[in-house]
């Protein structure tokens, strides 16, 4: 698997270049090239997991030495392990579905080759950030993905889009500067950029606590803004509604996790160390930020009538679940948090694509002007309902199990107050998405929508596929958590008592009366 690691970055970069070349001569080729690139990445990501399931190790590292013996010019180090493998699969899956959805959705936009070039650049940046083995290249790939996302938010070139993209750009620049200064502090303190090597020095007590504290604060601020956790969330409620629906799905389903949550997990657990001198403080900060994000996001979402804006606030709330799970600082907490991050990519990707379909059908995002869409757009309604049930935590959908596991992890970690906050948030989320289904899908169909028709299959099938995966993820969660998420959690956290990462999970499954 080592030989294919750089292809996860090179293939989408090549596709972006081809889309730009085809802009004038053959613009119709851009969607085909992009879909072929995404499917190739999906096949490679699946192959990694198939090989891992067969008993072979999927861990590996690829490096390109650029410095020629000069220490201050970094090379490129890409590392594939259980954690990066699951995020690569997630990026490939959601981006493939988004590209298929956009084949018809983007017909109304000009400059489609540029859109696909930027989309491929976004995918390359996210894959690079997931694979980066050193802090400098992590920063570089985060910037590549961020710059592409700024342009994609503004792609409609309307007033709202430009304003939202400018706000996103300004706050993103602050986040990037914070991350880069944090990298500089650790490099000045250790003379190293490799994350594993810095982590070893920290564990050995060879890095001053002051430098660690400063770097941790900067990383939390910068990556917290990328993850849109409160109070660093100001860009997200404007950016997500303003972007085209496929980009909203990419931003919410993937970007805030790969550039925010994933990078935060790598740095806090691998570099700084959650069991190190700052572990207790970091745990408290994650729990506080997680609770504020959970409750703040869901309460703000309850008051929204704009469907996409409502979904944007729930992205903040659902990331709060992930943060409190990570704050539990146990193997089960990490595994449950990563499980929920994966689930969020599926159901929130489906919901934002559904929002695009519903806007195309009704001509509005205002829930108060909808109703009865199940009568005229049954396929869109089924996909929307499935994703809504999942984010609401209704069994047997995947969102129910990941929220349940997070609650159990919090109780096991001795955090009943945080668990209560998570339970309240889950109930309020159920209330909110019951309202969404009642207002949009059921009830009386407005007269102006009497002749409305469902969107084409190329737009409804991606939503149905993601909703189906939400259902299958719920029905097969023991197998998925043990074999896939377990490997991801083991990359950063093991069970303290047994030194066996899946041990606490297997015990949990047994206690719940389910066979792993």
**Mean pLDDT of successive 10-residue stretches along the chain, which has 516 residues:** 82 92 79 93 87 54 53 64 88 94 85 89 94 90 92 76 85 92 93 86 87 92 88 81 86 83 89 82 92 93 89 92 92 89 92 92 88 89 93 91 92 93 95 90 84 88 94 77 70 56 46 44
Chain position carrying tokens 């093991």:
494
Q: What's residue 514's pLDDT?
A: 43
In the DSSP assignment, the letter for residue 5 is T
Question: Helix crossing, 195-203 with 159-190: angle to 10°?
Answer: 50
Q: What's residue 184's pLDDT?
A: 94
3-state secondary structure of 366: strand
Q: What's residue 494's pLDDT?
A: 61
Q: What are phi and psi of 303, to 5 degrees?
A: -90, 5
- Both tokens of 441, joined, read 């899908």
- Both tokens of 38, joined, read 């995404």
Rounded CA separation 198/206 (Å)? 9
Q: What's residue 67's pLDDT?
A: 46
3-state secondary structure of 447: helix
C-alpha dihedral (21, 107, 37, 151), degrees to nearest 10: 70
Write out 265-302 in H/E/C secondary structure: HHHHHHHHCCCCCCHHHHHHHHHHHHHHHHHHHHHHHH
Q: What's residue 69's pLDDT?
A: 42
Rounded CA separation 180/302 (Å)? 36
Among 34, 243, 228, 226, which Cα is nearest to 152's?
A: 243
Q: What's residue 159's pLDDT?
A: 67
Query: How confident is the model over 73-121, as pLDDT tens digits?
Result: 456 778 888 888 889 999 999 999 999 999 888 887 777 889 999 999 9
CA angle 440-98-348, nearest 5°? 45
Handedness of CA 396, 400, 405, 408 (dihedral sign): negative
Q: What's residue 42's pLDDT?
A: 95
Say if residues 21 and 107 touch (Cβ distance below 8 Å): no
3-state secondary structure of 6: coil
Say if residues 349 and 249 touch (Cβ distance below 8 Å): yes
Among 200, 422, 178, which Cα is nearest to 317's?
A: 422
Rounded CA separation 152/186 (Å)? 32
Parallel/antiparallel/unpaired status of strands 76-80 and 60-64:
antiparallel
Question: Helix crossing, 307-327 with 331-362: angle to 10°?
Answer: 180
Rounded CA separation 449/239 (Å)? 28
């Amino acid at each position: 698997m080592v030989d294919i690691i750089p292809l996860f970055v090179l293939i989408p970069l090549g596709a972006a270049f081809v889309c730009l070349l085809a802009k004038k001569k053959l613009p119709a080729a851009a969607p085909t090239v992009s879909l072929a690139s995404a499917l190739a990445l999906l096949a490679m990501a699946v192959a990694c997991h198939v090989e891992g399931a067969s008993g072979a190790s999927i861990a590996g590292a690829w490096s390109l030495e650029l410095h020629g013996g000069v220490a201050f010019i970094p090379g490129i180090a890409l590392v594939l392990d259980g954690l990066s493998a699951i995020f690569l699969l997630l990026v490939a899956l959601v981006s493939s579905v988004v590209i298929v959805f956009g084949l018809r959705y983007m017909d109304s936009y000009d400059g489609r080759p540029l859109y696909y070039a930027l989309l491929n650049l976004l995918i390359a940046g996210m894959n690079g950030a997931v694979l980066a083995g050193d802090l400098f290249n992590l920063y570089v790939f985060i910037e590549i993905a961020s710059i592409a996302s700024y342009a994609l938010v503004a792609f409609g070139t309307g007033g709202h889009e430009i304003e939202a993209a400018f706000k996103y750009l300004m706050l993103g620049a602050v986040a990037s500067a914070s991350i880069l200064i944090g990298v500089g502090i650790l490099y000045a303190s250790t003379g190293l950029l490799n994350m594993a090597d810095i982590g070893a020095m920290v564990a050995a007590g060879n890095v001053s606590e002051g430098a660690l504290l400063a770097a941790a604060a900067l990383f939390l601020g910068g990556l917290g803004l990328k993850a849109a956790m409160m109070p660093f969330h100001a860009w997200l409620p404007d950016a997500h509604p303003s972007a085209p629906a496929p980009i909203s799905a990419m931003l919410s389903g993937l970007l805030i996790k790969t550039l925010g949550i994933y990078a935060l997990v790598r740095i806090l657990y691998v570099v700084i160390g959650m069991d190190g001198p700052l572990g207790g403080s970091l745990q408290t900060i994650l729990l506080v930020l997680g609770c504020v994000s959970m409750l703040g996001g869901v309460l703000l979402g309850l008051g929204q009538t704009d469907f996409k804006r409502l979904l944007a606030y729930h992205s903040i709330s659902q990331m709060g679940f992930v943060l409190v799970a990570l704050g539990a600082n146990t193997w089960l907490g990490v595994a449950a948090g990563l499980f929920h991050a994966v689930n969020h990519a599926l159901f929130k990707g489906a919901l934002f694509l559904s929002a695009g379909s519903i806007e195309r059908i009704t001509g509005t995002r205002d829930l108060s002007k909808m109703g009865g869409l199940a009568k005229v757009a049954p396929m869109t309604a089924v996909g929307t309902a499935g994703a809504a049930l999942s984010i609401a935590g209704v069994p047997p959908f995947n969102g129910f199990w990941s929220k349940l596991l997070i609650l159990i992890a919090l109780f096991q970690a001795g955090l009943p107050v945080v668990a209560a906050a998570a339970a309240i948030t889950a109930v309020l989320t159920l209330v909110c998405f019951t309202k969404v289904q009642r207002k949009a899908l059921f009830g009386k169909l407005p007269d102006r929508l009497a002749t409305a028709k469902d969107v084409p299959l190329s737009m409804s099938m991606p939503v149905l596929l993601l909703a189906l995966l939400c259902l299958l993820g719920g029905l097969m969660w023991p197998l998925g958590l043990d074999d896939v998420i377990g490997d991801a959690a083991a990359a950063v956290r093991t069970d303290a008592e047994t030194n066996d990462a899946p041990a606490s999970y297997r015990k949990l499954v047994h206690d719940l009366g389910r066979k792993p």
